[in-house]
């Protein structure tokens, strides 16, 4: 699986079949601080991913 993390390097991760939530946990990325896109569409944390997938992780900016 190819993972593009905005403002950081692209990472490769070998998985069988797992959820977005589990991928982020493996990468030590807080689910509440990011949005994940696949094929230019925002996807939910329960979406199952495979090695053929490519996702983009975008950090959400908070503030006022």
Q: What percent of the chain has pLDDT over 70?
A: 98
> Please, what is the average pLDDT of the chain?
91
CB 50 within 8 A of CB 23: no
- Tokens 């053929």, located at residue: 52
Q: What are the tens digits of pLDDT across the range 12-35?
A: 888 889 999 999 999 999 999 999
Q: Which residue has the tokens 């569409």?
A: 41
Mean pLDDT of all residues in 51-59: 93
pLDDT band at 62 (very low <50, low <70, confident <90, very high): confident
Residue 55 pLDDT > 90: yes
């Amino acid at each position: 699986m190819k993972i593009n993390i905005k403002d950081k390097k692209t990472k490769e991760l070998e998985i069988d079949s797992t959820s977005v939530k589990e991928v982020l946990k493996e990468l030590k990325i807080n689910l509440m601080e990011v949005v994940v896109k696949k094929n230019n569409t925002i996807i939910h944390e329960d979406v199952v991913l495979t090695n053929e997938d490519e996702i983009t992780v975008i950090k959400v900016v908070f503030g006022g």
